[in-house]
Amino acid sequence: MVITLLENHYLYLQSYMQLNTTVPWGRSLQEYQDMFLLRESELQSSILACADGPASFNTEARKQGAKVTSVDPLYQFTAEEIKTRINVVAEEVIGQVKAHQDDFFWTAFANPEALYQQRMRSMQLFLDDYAMPASSPFYISAQLPELPFANKQFDLALCSHFLFLYSEHFDAQFHLDSMHELCRVASQVRVYPLVGLDNTPSPHLGLIVKELSRQGHEVKQQTVDYQFQKGATQMLVVNTAP
Ligand SMILES: C[S@@+](CC[C@H](N)C(=O)[O-])C[C@H]1O[C@@H](n2cnc3c(N)ncnc32)[C@H](O)[C@@H]1O
């Protein structure tokens, strides 16, 4: 099952991804650093960015020497197709954000217009990189809960604004299967945020923490530097069992 969305408020569910129902929307390297408390040294490790969409994290981090692979079902589409879709939906996204302004802290971004400008900058960086044939190994089209990677292929797996955020639309089993898969392919997994679209803690979080701990993974919740969606103050960190 595939899910796509506007900033954090708008949602489409499909059993397979169709471009005309997706809402590409992506964040920057700085936001990933703040959401996941990424240290410079960690940027030198082998990173999987899962559900990475049109974020500029991959291209910006690679320019600093990082080894990042992004995975998202969106990558079945060409840069031109994704760009066309961004241009169709961007105004609508910001309209939704304006209609729900009280759900966000306006500190990192002064107002919805500043958010719009930043998101468009990030997505253009993504598109410029994604369009280059040499970048294709860094953008893999696949989707949770099954990933086409070897056991412990990555030092670190990051998942921003997908798991837990869409708790109402993806059930506990999907979350559990997805977390198992991320733990299979990476030595450490970080997921942000831990709240749903209603800004309250995901109902699946307790089960995930209990099950992963029972299987010998070390699980903790950590407060992060990033603050935008109200209530989204923590990430999940899983040091995975060998
Ligand atoms: C809100 S966007 C987040 C993009 C990026 N991580 C960021 O924070 O800017 C959610 C992403 O999840 C992707 N997605 C949807 N279903 C997925 C699945 N089953 N597995 C992995 N990614 C999925 C969508 O294509 C979309 O790009």
- Which residue in this structure is represented by tokens 């869409």? 166
Say whether the peptide bond before residue 145 is cis (omega within 30 degrees of 0). Answer: yes
Report the nearest-CA residue for atom 8 of ligand 1.
Answer: 160
Helix (H) or strand (E) holding 5: strand 2-5
213 vs 219: CA distance, rounded Å: 6
If you measure from the C-alpha of residue 206 to the centroid of ligand 1, how many angstroms do you get, rounded to a whole number? 22
CB 181 near ligand 1, within 6 Å: no
- Specify the pLDDT at position 16: 56
Buried b (16+ CB within 10 A) or exposed e, 93-126: bbebbeebeebbeeebbeebeebbebbeebbebb
Q: Beta strand 154-160 with 186-192: parallel, antiparallel or unpaired?
A: parallel
Distance 143 CA to ligand 1 centre (A): 9
Q: Count CB-CB contacts under 10 A for residue 76.
A: 13
Low-confidence ranges of the chain (pLDDT < 50): 1-6, 8-15
Tell me the C-alpha distance between 68 and 139, whole Å. Answer: 9
For residue 49, how far is its CA from the centre of ligand 1 (angstroms)?
Answer: 10
Pocket test for ligand 1, best of 72, 176, 229 (most atoms within 8 A of CB): 72
- Any atom of ligand 1 within 6 Å of the Cβ of 52: yes
Where do we find the tokens 């309250």?
Answer: 200
Amino acid 13: pLDDT: 43
Whether ligand 1 lies within 6 angstroms of the CB of 27 is answered as yes
pLDDT in tens, 180-204: 999 999 999 999 999 999 999 999 9
Predicted pLDDT at 140: 98
Q: Write down the domain spans for the chain.
A: 2-239
The residue among 91, 26, 92 whose CA lies nearest residue 56 is 26
Does domain 2-239 fall under CATH 3.40.630.10? My reply is no
Element (H, E) at 63: helix 57-63
Structure tokens, 159: 């998942």
